[in-house]
Amino acid sequence: MPIIDQGYQHWSGELSGQAWRWLAITRRGVKTALQGRWIRLAILVAWLPALVLAFVLCMWGLVERQSDLVETFKPFLTGLLGRPVVAGPREYRVEIWTLCFHYFLTWELGFIMILVLMAGPNLVSQDLRCNALPLYFSRPLRRIDYFAGKLGVIATLIGLIVIGPILVAYSLGLLFSLDITIVRDTLPILFGSITYGVIVAISAGLLMLAMSSLTRNSRYVALLWLGVWLITGTVSVVLIQVDQAQRSRAVGARYHRWDNEQFLSAELDAAKHDWRPLVSYTANLRRMEESLIHTNAAWQKLIELTPVGQRGRLMFNLVDTQYPWYWSAGVLIGLAVLSACVLNLTVKSLDRIK
Amino acid sequence: MTSISAKLDDISTGAGGADLSGAQVSRLGSCWTLYLLTLRQHLHGRRWIALAVLFMLPAGLAVVIQSTRARAPDTFLDFLLSWILIPQALLPLIALLYASGIIQDEQEDQTITYLLIRPLPKWLLYIVKMIATWTTTVVLVVLLTVLTYAAIYIRSDVPVADVAARCFKTAAIQSLAVVTYCSIFGLLGLLTKRSLIVGILYTVVVEGLFANLPLSVRMSTVIYYTRIMAYRTLSFGVTWPNGDQNDVAAEAWFLDVASDPQLKEHPRLLSCVLVLSVISVVCTVIAAALCSQREFHVKTPEKD
Amino acid sequence: MTPIVTFQDVSKWYGNVIGINKLTVDIGPGVTGLLGPNGAGKSTLLQLATGQLYPSQGAVRVLGQHVWNHADLNRRIGLCPEQDAFYEWMTGWDFVFTCARLTGLSRRAARSAAERTISSVGMEPHQNRAIGGYSKGMRQRIKMAQALVHDPEVLFLDEPLTGTDPLARRELMDIITRIGNEGKSVLVSSHVLYEVQALTSNIVLLNRGRLVAHGNVRQIRDLIDKHPHHIKIECDGFRQLAARMVGWDDVEGVRVIAKDRALMVETHDPDAFYGRLPSLSLEDGLAIKSVYSDDDNLEAVFKYLVEL
């Protein structure tokens, strides 16, 4: 009977470059994630806002061209945006595009949280549970490849519902506009949106991976994610509410109405130094989005078109995004560093696995 | 193993003379052991770290809020923390953490076999585990409430007896709410493998959205009955530093106290207690019935 | 002989996957080996026998009673499951004691039963350590202890020897043999033929959910011996060797595998054949490089029996 060496069989063939090895993990992870019916359904639902975005951008292109196709909508648009905007749409192109992308990204943030909740908890916890880490680290993979591969799964899913639809909607918007200057005007919005997508993917991905490495039970990971998403949001709202209630009660019940522009101006001033939104994870992401696509500037321009006394409705949109954006960036960077440290501590390479 | 033969003799004499035909065998004892086992499962491990953070959250918030700017009125803070943060976010989360995994966790960990091969019917197994889950969550909620009240009223001039009474009522109402949530999520855990996602959707859509609509649909939520019980037993009138007075709960919960000060259009206290109790019992009974007919696959394919 | 475990026309399927296919078998007292390759349906059979699964068709009885939703029957049944799953945070003693209490033993009886059972599986020195820190062998033993702690009449052991070292394996086998000798019924599953053979001569063979054979291992071997054994011989002078072997009475056929420089020989009398090989190699200087037969492994047994 021939005796065959049962020890480690070294691969004698060619190996692919180190730089792309993580891709195998990502590819497998994405495939597994997309096999889930619920995840596929969530992605489909998450594309609905993208359809709306594409539709609105196309319509705006027609408005800019004063097309007869949108003639019937003009009274509605005038009521919604005001006569100056509809009369000179090209002057307000950047603002309208910015706000369209802003609303799209706001909606998508909710879907991102849900999608990460559905696809993320298993990523590391499952490997810990099944003691599958040696399967990775017994191959010429480094820990960084493993992390990048797992992060790639979340990034791909986020890309599918944010970056992909943005590119499609943007292209359609350009096609319907038929004006080359639109590229110059709107390219920063496109870059800002894509950068935002990348920031969310890295931040949410690292955070989820860190949580997933803390326990072998994916249910607890999902609950931790919920805590970060909903509890930090609720806590932030509670803190803000208390603060606002104290300020508004201090000035009297009649004065503290949210359609009172004087009161709103005072609130905007107070919000410039307010740390309370930083407690909410999603508020920090939203603040980054605002700073990247300059939502505040778009609102400001539209506010200036509105007669004094009727600006409260629009000014209200500015309250949450007054504090410096780098505060939020600091929080997100801090969380990312913390996540990386947690991953470093919890996922050991083969020689340190029990 | 020099003594292995002697030890083998022990086995042959009936596991140390364990006479299973006599009065030593008791189903009550089995249930009690399962109850204790479930409690221990709930309380061991690193889950305490997450729980401690959750517990300290309202109390910590109270301290933070009280130490920044002017002090907020105690009742307002009590309302925000005990009646917005805790029932809206923490109670469902605690219930989801413990109840949705009553069976799923055992199945995932493949330890359910050790329970299924004992002389305990599956329906009883579920009920005992659910009672243990109720115990854990109620104890946690009482602790959470006491901590929160201590943090809110520690520097207050409200008499201790009043605070204690208010704390007791809050803990009782929230305990009933968490028991109901546990029963609902326990049932969800048997109906779907994605109990966590469904539970979250339920919490956000039903308990978050429906409950905050001034329509009859809110009567289909647990939080509505919790709020009515709270409103009927506690006062939510806040006096602000500038002398303004308002009923924060009535405003936030869309209770039309101006035209219906007695809340005659809403259920009475006893009805609320009954509704939540009946929901808990019905969900538990349905889940136990499902459990008794269910196969729990371990090492065999799930699809049947 | 009154059967202890009865499967009457039992089928179990999971969606499109068949776990057990029209199985009818009566298993009597004593130790019975349940043999089959991975996926043969051994675990399904044991889970059906312990009431964890409901048969899609047919009836399963243990000690004359239907097992599904018959919790009281579990007092008389013990199961050592295959999966390496525990309440990892418990100590070994705590685990066995809890299992005894779950079975309904009083506190005192459970304590006494746990102590003796743990001692019987040689886990006394480790009983106060958390199971999470146990070696594979220790885990198997403590799993065995929980199955024995309530002194069951029928014991089902699902791959109890998996992962154990030779010493632990020997001890576990001794325990199983002894329990069988005491008149208890033990059904042990394994996919390793020699393990089961060391425990009992009475076996049930499963393959793809079907009963392949049931009875004495000798009778089953006899069935195999009716078929020629296949022996592969690697040799540089393979054609010369083939010419020599064709003349032997016990050789049924010789096939040349030129690309491997080897022969595949069929024989009815492998003992005589193997006995002649060394001298042949020396006499003719044929320099036989290797002789290999996979007929003795379980897969080959199944292959033969399925082809019957």
What are the extents of the domains in chain B?
27-293
Q: Identify the three-state secondary structure at position B264.
A: coil
| Subunit contact B300:C53, Cβ cutoff 8 A | yes
C301 CA to chain B: closest CA distance, Å?
Answer: 25
- For residue B274, what are the contacts with CB-CB under 8 A and spacing of at least 6? none
Residue ranges making up the domain that contains A222: 21-348
pLDDT of residue C235: 84
* Residue C126 touches chain B, beta carbons under 8 Å: no
- For residue B138, what are the contacts with CB-CB under 8 A and spacing of at least 6? B175, B178, B179
Residue A13 within any structural domain of the chain: no
pLDDT of residue B18: 46
B179 CA to chain C: closest CA distance, Å?
Answer: 25
Residue A353 within any structural domain of the chain: no
A249 CA to chain B: closest CA distance, Å?
Answer: 7
For CA atoms A72, A77, A78, A84, give the dihedral sign: negative
Residue A119 within any structural domain of the chain: yes
| Subunit contact C109:B109, Cβ cutoff 8 A | no
Q: Which residue has the higher pLDDT, A180 or A170?
A: A170
Q: Which residue has the higher pLDDT, A203 or B212?
A: A203
Domain count along chain A: 1
| Subunit contact C14:B1, Cβ cutoff 8 A | no
* Residue A7 touches chain C, beta carbons under 8 Å: no
Run of H or E including B237? strand B237-239
Span B188-198, pLDDT tens digits: 999 988 888 88
A3 CA to chain C: closest CA distance, Å?
Answer: 10
* Residue A2 touches chain C, beta carbons under 8 Å: yes
pLDDT of residue A129: 81
Rounded-to-integer distance, Cα C199 and Cα A13, Å: 46
The owner of tokens 């065998």 is: B25
Residue A7 within any structural domain of the chain: no
* Blockwise average pLDDT, block size 10, chain C, 308 residues: 88 88 91 87 93 94 93 93 91 96 93 93 92 90 93 92 78 86 88 78 88 80 68 84 86 88 85 76 70 62 61
Rounded-to-integer distance, Cα C300 and Cα C308, Å: 12
Q: How is B60-108 classified by DSSP, letter by letter?
A: HHHHHHHHSSSPPPHHHHHHHIIIIIIIIIIHHHHHHHHHTTTTHHHHH
| Subunit contact C74:B117, Cβ cutoff 8 A | yes
| Subunit contact B90:A222, Cβ cutoff 8 A | no
From first to last of the 304 residues of chain B, give the pLDDT tens digit.
334 444 444 444 444 444 444 444 578 899 999 999 999 998 887 677 777 777 788 888 888 888 776 567 888 889 989 998 898 888 998 899 899 889 988 988 889 999 999 999 999 999 999 999 999 999 999 999 999 999 999 888 889 999 999 999 999 999 999 999 999 999 999 998 888 888 988 998 899 888 888 888 889 999 999 999 999 999 998 887 777 788 888 988 888 888 888 888 899 999 999 999 999 999 999 999 999 999 988 866 665 4
Q: How many CB atoms lie within 10 A of CB A297?
A: 13
Residue A97 within any structural domain of the chain: yes
**Out of A147-151, A269-273, B274-278, least confident range:** A269-273
Residue A264 within any structural domain of the chain: yes
Q: Is the pTM of this model over 0.90?
A: no
156-215 of C, contacting B, C-beta below 8 A: 167, 171, 174-175, 178-179, 182
Rounded-to-integer distance, Cα B1 and Cα B5, Å: 9
pLDDT of residue C302: 60
Span A334-345, pLDDT tens digits: 999 999 999 999
What is the 3 state secondary structure string of chain A? Answer: CCCCCCCCCCCCCCCCCHHHCHHHHHHHHHHHHHHCHHHHHHHHHHCHHHHHHHHHHHHHHHHHCCCHHHHHHHHHHHHHHCHHHHHCHHHHHHHHHHHHHHHHHHHHHHHHHHHHHHHCCHHHHHHHHCCCHHHHHCCCCCHHHHHHHHHHHHHHHHHHHHHHHHHHHHHHHHHHHCCCHHHHHHHHHHHHHHHHHHHHHHHHHHHHHHHHCCCCCHHHHHHHHHHHHHHHHHHHHHHHHHHHHHHHHHHCCCCCCCCCHHHHHHHHHHHCCCCHHHHCHHHHHHHHHHHHHCHHHHHHHHHHHCCCCCCHHHHHHHHHHCCCHHHHHHHHHHHHHHHHHHHHHHCCCHHHCC
How is residue A331 written in tokens?
């929080």
B302 CA to chain C: closest CA distance, Å?
Answer: 7
How is residue B266 written in tokens?
């809403």
Residue A200 within any structural domain of the chain: yes
Residue A3 within any structural domain of the chain: no
**How confident is the model over A60-76, as a mean pLDDT?**
81
Rounded to the nearest 5 degrees, what angle is found at the Cα of B145, between the Cα atoms of B141 and B149? 175
Q: Which of B66, B97, B236 should one mutate to test binding to chain A, selecting the residue with the greatest count of A CBs within 10 A? A: B97
Q: How many CB atoms lie within 10 A of CB A48?
A: 12
| Subunit contact B57:A224, Cβ cutoff 8 A | no
How is residue B262 written in tokens?
């007695």
Span A109-143, pLDDT tens digits: 999 999 999 999 999 998 888 888 888 887 778 88
User: What subunits make at least 3 CB pairs under 8 angstroms with B?
Assistant: A, C
Closest partner CB to B29 (pick from C13, C74, C104): C104
Q: How many CB atoms lie within 10 A of CB C12?
A: 26
How is residue C9 written in tokens?
């026309």
| Subunit contact C291:A2, Cβ cutoff 8 A | no
